[in-house]
Chain A
């Protein structure tokens, strides 16, 4: 079914017709249909759990559908394995990267198609020049082919993954959340690449939670909700799309921020330096959300890690409730006396124990609360866990469910819940909404307001500048490891943050 405006294209090159897929009792896709044509960039949007990733996995041969059929160029096909899909020219950049960390960029780019030399031997020396050409042909110069992937930051790993897939000349290319870890410039690069591929007559399907991105590059947009195809449009405005995605009207994306009138200082930082940081001073009040803005990679991450004791050795002073605090490691920070908690963007590697249950993940740092003589009193534990699940509206089947099976937004809530149980009073939220769907974002915003109303304080960084602008009482704008400007009250909007981020420092020395 195509959209109401009838953007009928040439027949689709890839099609899913009435596809259903269940995991146990959970129905991920029900009678879902989807189609995309050659020479088209097709945006696929929906909340987490709407079935986008499942659809992509089915169309890539990773999962088999329970029912329904798949057609490629009008022919019914069985995609029994990723290899079968690849043979038809289907290539996919999955959300979970498939890079080999302790191998070089060149080895990763050329795996299984290494240049052959004498007999069974591969020409390792030629690999780096071959990889160099591949990167250069796509306009990438800042990635060294001889570097280990493990040494690359997240965004560059994503780019390597994209390059590897794209250089295999796909007829049909799926990209699942390719931009969630990319900076603005890199997103532009990717979209330039997609535009070129469209010109070459390839079919590109991608998902993203950033509406402006989808709108700017997609020829058509398909909306999924609860495992079903809702609508496909060539033109659709954001409000309408959000309504279709969530099935309810979201009047305002951002909640009203109550004024912060508590003058009591919870956290004070004086002349913090070390690593990429230099001379950072600010104070965070009780019941306040202090935003941290600026272009990506200006030391925000190091600042958060330093305050959590997970960064490099730093100089300067940190005062909690007016008393100097020594934070040498995360354990110092978590301790109830200081009560500092970090919620990072990379949930998988920085905090959650994925194979363990929601209950374990929530209560791990606070076992003492309900233990007697080293033995856990499970009834009390269960009660606390239940309360937290309800309060945070974590969507799950049961508290014994493994965290790995939750959606990104719900994983994030588990992390926040853990620190609430630990009664942390200063929360460092670092890009917590990255890759999280609209409805869950909304939940997180509401949660932030609830937290400050209890007198807790939040230091808040987001790669989405709008978010920082709407949810902060004050904003510290960082540039090259320093605070370039501090914005207050009505001065704060996305534009002024970006302006301040770009401004060369003009503070008297």
Chain B
């Protein structure tokens, strides 16, 4: 008895699927390009020349903390969580780097590793409370945000301390845009991460926890893992913050909780989990960083910076939703 066949073959190209499934990330890339162009135009009209090496270097260096914190936030988002403690962890990382790190390469490497492990430990606390304790992520990380901020104040009660010059030169060299290499490495990291069993598991858990469990995915382990990796990225972001500012401040990281969330949103990752990409978030983080320079050259009073950032964010997210709506209508 021959079995009946089902349907005719309908296949779209790999490229067509890729674009359809990555609309938000691609859109973030387009917004990045548009922002860059806008920036270049404003810059050249006000200064009479095109932005050069100096501008590229300082913009990249200033963007690095946000880029790293946004990637960490994205990984937590993808597991259908949220990490409000990012800012607190950056405070700890920043304070430790400014007070403990010595000028020798050995000390720099050792303290970098220790600080990343502290980030992992913080993430582990978040993850265990969320996944095992079954507490709301927003509540848990709001609490640990305050706790981490307190720890940072204990480490560095007064702004100060000093980050070794060699460290600054390595992470955020003031003379050359070498930090771009780290962005390249982040992209490579993400492409690989997406192809690991752990990466797939994070997406699966974010899609549907019950289904993931039914498919043999270890849900608790995966969710805890997402917070641990997220914590490490926050710690890394704190190191970059310390390197660019060359000194320590136990409150310097605070603003990154919200901006990392904004960058992830701008990159098209949703808070509902399972959808999005860190590549979009990297683009989103760069956009938000460049926006500050754009506002500067547009002659906007610095006091209104937040206002315009918020306005821009709403418009960008609305645009993304609109594009998605029209694409769906077209089908």
Residues of A with Cβ closer than 8 Å to B?
A: 82-83, 86, 94, 96-104, 107, 111-112, 114, 117, 120-124, 128, 138-144, 146-148, 159, 185-186, 188-189, 192-193, 195-196
Contacts and interface: CB of A to CB of B under 8 A. Distances in A.
B207 interface: yes
B207 A98 contact: no
Contact of A111 (B21, B204, B274): B204
Interface stretch (B8-16, B132-140, B313-321): B8-16
Contact of A147 (B17, B214, B217): B17
Nearest to B270: A102
Given A121-B196, A142-B6, A144-B12, A111 B17 contact: no
B4 interface: yes
Contacts of A188: 4
A146 B1 CA distance: 31
23 contacts: A82-B214, A86-B216, A98-B211, A99-B211, A100-B204, A100-B211, A100-B212, A101-B207, A102-B274, A103-B204, A111-B216, A112-B217, A122-B200, A124-B194, A124-B195, A128-B14, A139-B3, A144-B11, A146-B12, A185-B6, A186-B6, A189-B3, A192-B1
B192 A111 contact: no
**Interface size grouping (class) on chain B:** 20 to 34
Interface in B61-105: none
Among A121, A144, A148, chain B packs the most CB atoms within 10 A around the CB of A121
Contacts of A83: 216
A114 B11 CA distance: 22
Nearest to B275: A102
B49 interface: no
Contact of A100 (B3, B6, B207, B216): B207
Contacts of A144: 10-12, 17
Interface of B: 1-12, 14, 17, 21, 192, 194-197, 200, 203-204, 207-208, 210-212, 214-217, 274-275
Contacts, number: 108
Contacts of B203: 100, 102-103
A122 B200 CA distance: 10
Contacts of B208: 98-101
Given A102-B274, A111-B204, A142 B3 contact: no
A159 B216 CA distance: 20
B109 to A, nearest CB: 24
Contacts of B274: 100-103
A192 B3 CA distance: 5
Main secondary structure of the interface of B (DSSP, over half): loop
B274 to A, nearest CB: 5
A112 B215 contact: yes
A475 to B, nearest CB: 28
Contacts of B3: 138-139, 189, 192-193, 195-196
Contacts of A146: 11-12, 14, 17
A120 B200 CA distance: 12
4 interchain residue pairs of minimum CB distance: A142-B7, A192-B3, A98-B214, A100-B207
Given A98-B214, A122-B200, A144-B17, 20 more contacts: A83-B216, A86-B216, A94-B214, A99-B211, A100-B208, A100-B215, A101-B207, A102-B274, A103-B207, A111-B204, A111-B216, A112-B215, A114-B197, A122-B195, A141-B9, A142-B9, A143-B6, A159-B6, A189-B3, A192-B4
Contacts of B6: 139-143, 159, 185-186, 189
Contact of A122 (B7, B197, B217): B197
Contacts of A96: 210
B7 A140 contact: yes
A101 B270 CA distance: 14
Contacts of A143: 6-7
